Amino acid sequence: MAEGVLDRIAAVVADGHLHTAADFTAAGIHSTQLSRAVRAEALVQYARGIYFRGWEDAVENIDLAAVSLAHPGGVVCLGSAAHLHNVSNEDPSSVWYAVDRARVGRQVTVGPSVPVTTVFWPEAALTPGVEVRTVMGVEIRATDVARTVIDLLRYRGKLGDEPGTKALTDYLRDAHGPINRLWDLADELGCRRTVEPFLRFAEEVREAIPRPTAPGA
């Protein structure tokens, strides 16, 4: 491969971020040249149309960044958000990603290397309790810890009781926020009746939940 092409590819990925094929096209790099660079191990293709400089740049939550870059506007949610906030014992085998059901009528995919479980929400549900963080130059929209608790509780018919009760217990134990925040989100999402028994119970037992012991204490 011509040295000039490799130099242009290196310039695109020099920031250590994830990049789409469009970023390389804008730099005058053809898709066949990208393929050759990958085969020559001068570039890593992480998922379909998603590239980065080398594995030394890979960080935790790169899967979430790849999905968010390929399908902007969605929200990392449920099991993936619970793992992100450390209110789950499980590392999900796929990225849970919510999209606007009125605009996205199909499953979200980024190739077999990054499995995605697509959740379809109304547009109004894609905003409450959503925070933004940056991973490898990509803005990730994810439900915050309180919204994640509410979502796991309202989806317990599909996910079972354990994920939601575990997340709620951790929310209380680690003092992530007041219970009123959970009530407010339940009202905003229209699921108060669904989660009310859990939140009432949480109000009764929150003082009895032991707080984590600080190291060396």
pLDDT computed for residue 204 by the predictor:
85
**Residue 21 burial (10 A CB sphere; 0-12, 13-18, 19+):** middle
State the Cα–Cα distance between residues 97 and 192, nearest whole angstrom.
Answer: 23
What pTM, to 2 d.p., does this model score? 0.91
pLDDT computed for residue 186 by the predictor:
97
- Sheet with 75-76, side-by-side order of all strands: 116-121, 95-100, 75-76, 138-143, 130-135
Q: Where are the domains of the chain?
A: 3-57, 62-208
Other beta carbons less than 10 A from residue 142's beta carbon = 26
At 26-57, the pLDDT tens digits run 999 998 999 999 998 989 999 999 999 999 99
Percent with pLDDT over 90 in the chain: 78
For residue 37, give Cα distances in angstroms to 13, 32, 51, 82: 12, 9, 11, 36
Percent with pLDDT over 70 in the chain: 94
Token duo for residue 85: 């906030």
pLDDT computed for residue 137 by the predictor:
96
Mean pLDDT of the chain: 91
Contact 147, 128 (CB under 8 A): yes
Least confident of 54-58, 103-107, 156-160: 103-107
pLDDT computed for residue 217 by the predictor:
47
Q: Which of 123, 131, 126, 176 is nearest to 149 (CA)?
A: 176
pLDDT computed for residue 4 by the predictor:
82
Mean pLDDT of 52-80: 95
At 87-98, the pLDDT tens digits run 998 889 999 999
> How far from chain centre, in Å, is Cα 61?
7
